[in-house]
Chain A
Amino acid sequence: MKLDWFTVAAQIGNFLLLLWLLKRFLYRPILAAMAARQQRIADALVTAQAQAAAAEALQREYLARQQELATSRETWLTQAREEVAAQRQAWLAQARTEVDELRERWRAELEWKQREHRQALQREASQRLLALARRALRDLGDTELEAHMASALLARLRALDDATRQTLTQAARDGCAVLTAFPLSESQQRTLIAGLRRFFGPELNPDFRTDPAASVGITLETPSQRLAWTLDSYLDGFATELQASIPPADGNSP
């Protein structure tokens, strides 16, 4: 075992050369690459942590907003339900009012129509009744009835006041006529003339005329005045009273 000091010195130099070469071509580039990758990983981690923190903050904000939204939604729903209920009540009340008004209007209209119909019916009934009475009286009318009517006419003359009687007397001087639906007998004419002369003077000479179309009764006509007692006048009075008894249709009809 021999030690060659030249070789020892050369190997020391060789080792130092290898150390320098590996340091230049191996350790420095490898360590730089590892450091760069570690730095990249660290940067990525920092970025990831920042993103995670941002995501967590975003998540917290989102959850808070979601919670707030849920609360607001409940409030809004409650408020909306109350408003809908109130609106529904208001509309129901309004609808009830309108229905009541319509019902009242319809009832009033119905009552008005019923009343009008009843009045028309009453008028029609009265008119038919009057027509029936007129026809019955006309059918029943004869000389005897006319004679009674002459007495009634004389009674009416007696019931006149003085002014009316004077006016009628003045008018009778210019001539007068007695109009009947049926011809009067001679005795009836004499009785009537005698009664009239007691009121208008003895010179009165009435002219007796007959008109079958005239109503049952007796009419004293002068050129300017007219005094009658007929069944039509009675019936006209009755009709007037009947009309007065039927209330007219009120003004608030629809």
Chain B
Amino acid sequence: MNISPDQTILLDLGVVKINATLAYTWLTIALLAGLARWITRQLSTAGELSPWQNLLEVLVEGVQNQIRDIARQDPGPFLPFIATLFIFIAACNLLAIVPGYEPPTGSLSTTTALALCVFLAVPFYGVRRHGLRGFLHLYLEPTPLMLPLNLIGELARTVALAVRLYGNVMSGSLAAAILLLVTPLAFPALMHALELLTGLIQAYIFAVLATVFIAAATAAQEQTANPSQPRA
């Protein structure tokens, strides 16, 4: 029994191995991009909105409000990154209900990749907003002695992000598969329905944590640049 879609190799070209994780990821990307293109092809700026446009606007505006509430900053720069994290993870987890679909988020490679993206996004937004010197000065706070601990903290939360998401998704799929063998059909179906809720919650947690990490970097940088202002 494969516990990760990475182990399902679809095409082996030596170093390049196309596994199920990549295949389902591309499928999900194509589905999301096609759906977005189809919905946004005819957007209405006045009068009645289509239900799909309404759904997307609610989603985007909800993400904006969440970022604004958590980061207490303009959500504009962070919105594409955070919203893409949430949409991708949520889509993968929700599509798990489709028979034969293996969610890419059940692969440690995928969750590690997403965690690395967050890991890289933190300095990216911090440097873009306040410069390299100001951002690096963050790791010397409150004293230069804290530099090792800060670096370990950065790595630890990245690993925690990856493992948390992987563990939840993988365990959910694995638990459903095991229960399918030993219990009647109704029970695994209920577990799958519960997995949908868990998947959405995991997507939300991942996005919120990414927001918190990015906002902490930018907010700390602001605190360093303007020490007279109170900490948010």
* A34–B113 touching, CB < 8 Å: no
* B109–A29 touching, CB < 8 Å: no
Most buried by A among B3, B19, B84: B84
**Per-residue contact bits, chain B 32-50, to A (CB 8 Å; 1 contact, 0 not):** 1100110110011110000
Q: Which of B20-28, B142-150, B178-186 contacts A (4 or more CB under 8 A)?
A: B20-28
- Residues of chain A lying within 8 A (CB to CB) of residue B46: 37, 40
- Residues of chain A lying within 8 A (CB to CB) of residue B61: 34
Pick the contact of A19: B45, B60, B81 (CB < 8 A): B81
* Distance from A230 Cβ to chain B, minimum over Cβ atoms (Å): 138
Interface of A is mostly: helix
- Residues of chain B lying within 8 A (CB to CB) of residue A4: 6, 17, 19, 109
**Per-residue contact bits, chain B 154-173, to A (CB 8 Å; 1 contact, 0 not):** 00000000000000000000
The verdict on A26 contacting B114 (CB below 8 Å), with A11-B104, A14-B22, A14-B25 known, is no
* B84–A22 touching, CB < 8 Å: yes
* Distance from A29 Cβ to chain B, minimum over Cβ atoms (Å): 4
Most buried by B among A15, A16, A32: A15
Q: Does B116 sit within 8 A of A, measured CB to CB?
A: yes
The verdict on A19 contacting B116 (CB below 8 Å), with A4-B6, A14-B22, A14-B25 known, is no
Q: Does B79 sit within 8 A of A, measured CB to CB?
A: yes
* B40–A7 touching, CB < 8 Å: no
**Per-residue contact bits, chain B 1-34, to A (CB 8 Å; 1 contact, 0 not):** 0011011000000011101011001100100110
Bound Cα distance A33, B61 (Å): 12
* B53–A27 touching, CB < 8 Å: no
Q: Does A234 sit within 8 A of B, measured CB to CB?
A: no
Q: Does B141 sit within 8 A of A, measured CB to CB?
A: no
Q: Which residue of A lies closest to B5 (CB)?
A: A7
Q: Give the size range of A's interface with the partner.
A: 20 to 34
Bound Cα distance A228, B36 (Å): 161
* Distance from B24 Cβ to chain A, minimum over Cβ atoms (Å): 10
**Per-residue contact bits, chain B 94-134, to A (CB 8 Å; 1 contact, 0 not):** 00000000001001111011101100000000000000000
* A8–B40 touching, CB < 8 Å: no
- Residues of chain B lying within 8 A (CB to CB) of residue A37: 45-46
Q: Which residue of B lies closest to A9 (CB)?
A: B113
Q: Which residue of B lies closest to A23 (CB)?
A: B80
- Residues of chain B lying within 8 A (CB to CB) of residue A7: 6, 17, 19, 21-22, 107, 109-110, 113
Sample 12 A-B pairs with CB under 8 A, ordered by A number: A3-B108, A4-B109, A9-B113, A11-B114, A15-B88, A15-B114, A18-B32, A19-B80, A22-B32, A22-B84, A30-B53, A34-B60
B: residues with CB less than 8 A from A are 3-4, 6-7, 15-17, 19, 21-22, 25-26, 29, 32-33, 36-37, 39-40, 43-46, 53, 56-57, 60-61, 79-81, 83-84, 87-88, 104, 107-110, 112-114, 116-117
A: residues with CB less than 8 A from B are 1-12, 14-19, 21-23, 25-27, 29-34, 36-37, 40
